[in-house]
Structure 1
């Protein structure tokens, strides 16, 4: 028997490894004159001398086999960082002495801040006390001035009252002029009617005051008709509202009639007042 086998081995093309070569075509005419001259000098260089017989006899070295390129390896997995707070790590890295000094410095600063706040508070309280003291002084000075003014006004009023009393006493003690006494009585009646009419014209009669009721009014006045005091007699049949209305009418009617009634003027006057229907 004849048996044969035809077997061939075809080498697989090896992949090229390394950095690819890049080239760029440049126009020589576009270069600068200095570069063009340098290229010309390179072009005119003489060719290298031929090899000597000794150099020819040497065998050409065999090309060294290029070692296969290292195969890429899978990237090692980086360890995941621990889930630890970096701030805690930095605090742990600080020494105990450093932390103690920082705490002491912080406490000193807090104490300084508290002292400054307390000082400012005391200054504000002191300013408020000074302001209140000045206000009290001003109030006291105003009270003294008002008291002095009231005392001066009271002395002036007393002096005026004394002068009026002296004039009234002198008029009362003077001898009556010669003439008919009935004329003096008629002047007194006209004076009383004038007073009653002046008061009645300034009086708003309450509805509950009867027209027929009489009310005695005691009036203290000065020459000229200025009223110093007015009081309604307790025997007046008017109620409290009616009495107050009569007193208000007397004060509103001042100055009371005086001109032409100087001879019958009285400082203390008792007037019988009767309401009328206007």
Structure 2
């Protein structure tokens, strides 16, 4: 590719060429070969070629007005080719990829936004489902605990029922055995006779009734002992409760049964504790001792007797 320096050199050579032509014409006029003609008389004729200053200016002007060659664009120098890197030896067992991968499609912005929105909705749906599963598991666990507690409560009630039933059966067996023993003692021993002499008048236990017999006093003593031991804070007023208990000689109560009683469990328990708290009266009442006695409990006593 031609450079600016080459253009200047061409112009200079053109100017020198024209100048050389002019100079050669001048020199040619100095060295003219003589003609081989016959000599003639007279002075020889001489001719010379002369250039004026105007001619030189016109020639110089013509050289300057000559068309200049178009400037040539600078040629870009191509860098020398770089040596190719030497291939590294393959160290992996995986085969080299011989087919180029297909170009990936540029994702559409709108479709990508829709995909992101769907992914977000799906994630929110999964989070809600997970939360619902956790709540359901908690509800199931609570129900399982409640069922287990109910089973344990029923087992405890069953055990208590079995224990009470066993105690009642044991008490009934003891009652039957004591009744049999009392019957045997009654058959073996005759009733004692009272002395004809009258004892000194002493205050006797009673219920302000008209029956002054020993049996009436015995029943009144039993009733007084039961009422003295009775805690009436948990029983309703003016409600009667008939209770039948079994005792052995000495006054120890071994069994309690309620025949007609409108008290609740707490009220009945208070009566049973009163009967079992202390032995019933026995000394002095051996002749009228009763193994089974029925009492009517009511509070307050004065109001119940009206």
Coarse TM-score class (shorter-chain normalised)? 0.3 to 0.5
- Give the TM-score normalised by structure 2: 0.41
**Normalised by the size of structure 1, how large is the TM-score?**
0.44
